[in-house]
Chain A
């Protein structure tokens, strides 16, 4: 029943979407507003239909309708309802449906917001967005139907991989997909600008907020993924340069480059082609990443795209690239910029360099990810490059970016005078050098960490000086109180100060990454009850082994006492979860999280009679700075994009508090 209905709804949606795209194009002609209105209605109907499909699949998941193959794969009777709901994005078919729903939502939001504006651009924006939806609907109609039946109907489903039965599963994929899908809006506007022959700055101005918000979701998704991995997977890390992770990182890099280069184009009318290329690349990398991780091409180095999904993604990718770059070539004469780079020592040149480095990192990550394929094609040997490659390549480039983060926002446009440089950078540089020397005498001797801190201090100092000096100047000239002046400043140039806050967040995260990766320590030992394992200031004493019944699994855990400098700091109970129908256990990590350092313990093996347990203990210094940095980044983006009213309210409140 659900299967037939669901399949029908998706086919109907496909038809409506194709119509919407065609009607938009017809409605582009002057005087054909009726067609445009009709296409807008079709877009809204499309959104309603896909929403209905989502409800149908969720209904099947929640009611454990195992006649659907997808439900049998990702759901089980015993699961909590929230994990049954999360089954929607627990496997390929459902996640494609979710993606298409978000895509349909974007289409509807764009129509709702701009239906009476941008008469020339909108028809093609709609056509492009609906075109993307057509691809996902085709994918579901012919390759990955979430409503496919299974026969015989199994008595119970297999359920989600237990690693996914955690609250994070309810958040992380949604964030990531929202980010991915969000970038389709600037992409659609960019293409529409090319098609209509208006490739000036208009499309950038319209899509600025969309881009920044999409970037924020993608950033959140990546950070959240790392946090999740760290707390639950039990290997003590958060990022492994795995193809799946790289697939999300590459569009983030080009998206970040895009956000910056947009500012140069708006200010100097330069880099028109570059921006179109960047937005196309960002969107293409999202598709490419999905192809890479869904086709099995890297998992098994031999088989090229088993199953039709990989081929279809590859075909779509080719269409996107050919169409966009074909249009760029076709409009090349209109794309000539007017501006010129006046001097190497200028803000536009700093931004340009930032772009080159971001795209450079993206390219090297791309190379490293597909290296096994390349080496097999070129030399016939399977060679892969692991974490050392990525760290070695991305490390220095990341440092260069960090330095630019301090320079870019404060250096003058056009040609920076010696006076401008001295005023903005002399004191921060001196402070940064002094701070780094201080660290050296405090015992920090690793070059990479010292370099990271040198640049980080520099960025923090430049940003703080900017905030302090501007606030003070404003307070003096207007007679406002300091806090009042501060909020007024934020309000007046939210874009600028939001951006600076984002930079601070990135710096905080980079400090966390550098320190935790260089100074982490770990020890592993098999302990009998009463024995201890010492690491740094900490000692862990193994008291006993216990097991208990949980709703969905059996939990075996070790009762440990954590001691710091001999003083008890609390119990730690790392464990192993044993699920029915899963032959291997799943880790249950325990840790004491602290802003200075995390004490992280894993039960890696044990004797069933409780006579001994193998415990792995790690100290991860300052790793929580990464997550704090992520939070500050989100805060910065919110300052930059929130409507003025909200911030005005905040500043009124601050004033009230001061009074």
Chain B
């Protein structure tokens, strides 16, 4: 093998090894496992400390917001199982009951999911609203602080 070819090979091998190392450590550090609420319920024992992402629907009537302690709690469900989620901080804009959400965090041995991030889902498709909400009805909501 000629010398310049050898040079390229050695250089290439070093670069690939460095890349592989970076990717390996990156994946190891930040791998996030995706579960549905019912899958999480089955594997509660084995997931302590792992980074998890749980996707499901925010169950109707379960959202509670404690402004003094900045604590948001709700149940996330996939229709079969449900998981209690506690999140430090206010809900993001698109978060609402009955809509899809993905939470990221860890399973706490005390029996709830400790969420660090909530990703609310938004659909791009056109659906006519069931109860049309007009500007007037929104005004009604805030009449106590609305400026005349």
Contact = CB atoms under 8 A, between A and B. Distances in A.
A167 B70 CA distance: 33
A392 B26 contact: yes
Given A341-B7, A364-B22, A385 B32 contact: yes
A382 B33 contact: yes
Nearest to A340: B4
A260 B92 CA distance: 42
Given A360-B15, A524-B90, A554-B139, A384 B32 contact: yes
Interface string A155-169: 001100100000000
Contacts of B133: 580-583
Given A72-B126, A364-B19, A610 B145 contact: yes
A534 interface: no
A580 B147 contact: no
A554 B99 CA distance: 22
Contacts of A650: none
A608 B145 CA distance: 7
A333 interface: no
By secondary structure, the A interface counts as mixed
Between B33, B124, B129, B138, the greatest number of chain A beta carbons within 10 A of the residue's beta carbon is seen for B138
B84 interface: no
A652 interface: no
Contacts of A235: 92
Nearest to A376: B34
Given A341-B7, A387-B30, A526 B144 contact: no
A360 B20 CA distance: 10
Contact of B29 (A392, A583, A605): A392
A607 interface: yes
B95 A584 contact: yes
B128 interface: yes
A614 B67 contact: yes
Contacts of A363: 19
B67 A385 contact: no
Interface in A234-265: 234-235
B94 interface: yes
Contacts of B125: 73
B81 interface: no
A73 B139 contact: no
A607 B142 CA distance: 10
Contacts of A546: 145-147
B22 A525 contact: no
A356 interface: yes
A604 B90 contact: yes
Contacts, number: 149
A234 B141 contact: no
Given A341-B4, A393-B26, A605-B91, A386 B32 contact: yes
B128 A154 contact: yes
Interface string B120-137: 101011111100111101
A385 B65 contact: no
Interface in B45-68: 53, 65, 67-68
B23 interface: yes
Contacts of B96: 583-584
A586 B7 CA distance: 57
Interface string A135-160: 00000000000000000001001100
Between A372, A381, A393, the greatest number of chain B beta carbons within 10 A of the residue's beta carbon is seen for A393
Contacts of B30: 385-389, 392
Interface in B61-96: 65, 67-68, 70, 89-96
Interface residues of A, number: 66
A581 B144 contact: no
Contacts of B120: 584
A158 B124 CA distance: 10
B65 to A, nearest CB: 7
B88 to A, nearest CB: 9
Nearest to A162: B93
Interface in A350-390: 356, 360, 363-364, 367-368, 371-372, 381-390
Nearest to B89: A524
Given A382-B33, A524-B89, A580-B134, A389 B27 contact: yes
B27 A385 contact: yes
B145 A234 contact: no
B19 A360 contact: yes
B31 interface: yes
Contacts of A582: 133
B25 interface: yes
Nearest to B143: A547
B93 A392 contact: no
Contacts of A368: 26
Contacts of B99: 583-584
Between A371, A390, A612, the greatest number of chain B beta carbons within 10 A of the residue's beta carbon is seen for A371
A392 B53 CA distance: 20
A60 interface: no
Nearest to B88: A524
Between A340, A367, A389, the greatest number of chain B beta carbons within 10 A of the residue's beta carbon is seen for A389
A12 B66 CA distance: 61
Nearest to B124: A91
A556 interface: yes
Interface of B: 4, 7, 15, 19, 22-23, 25-27, 29-35, 53, 65, 67-68, 70, 89-96, 99, 104, 120, 122, 124-129, 132-135, 137-139, 141-142, 144-147
Given A385-B30, A578-B138, 6 more contacts: A154-B128, A157-B126, A383-B32, A384-B34, A388-B26, A587-B93
15 contacts: A69-B126, A91-B124, A158-B127, A301-B34, A364-B26, A382-B33, A386-B32, A390-B26, A392-B25, A547-B146, A549-B139, A584-B120, A605-B65, A610-B145, A616-B90
Q: Considering the complex of A and B, which 3 residue pairs feature the smallest CB-CB distances, nearest first? A: A604-B90, A388-B30, A382-B34
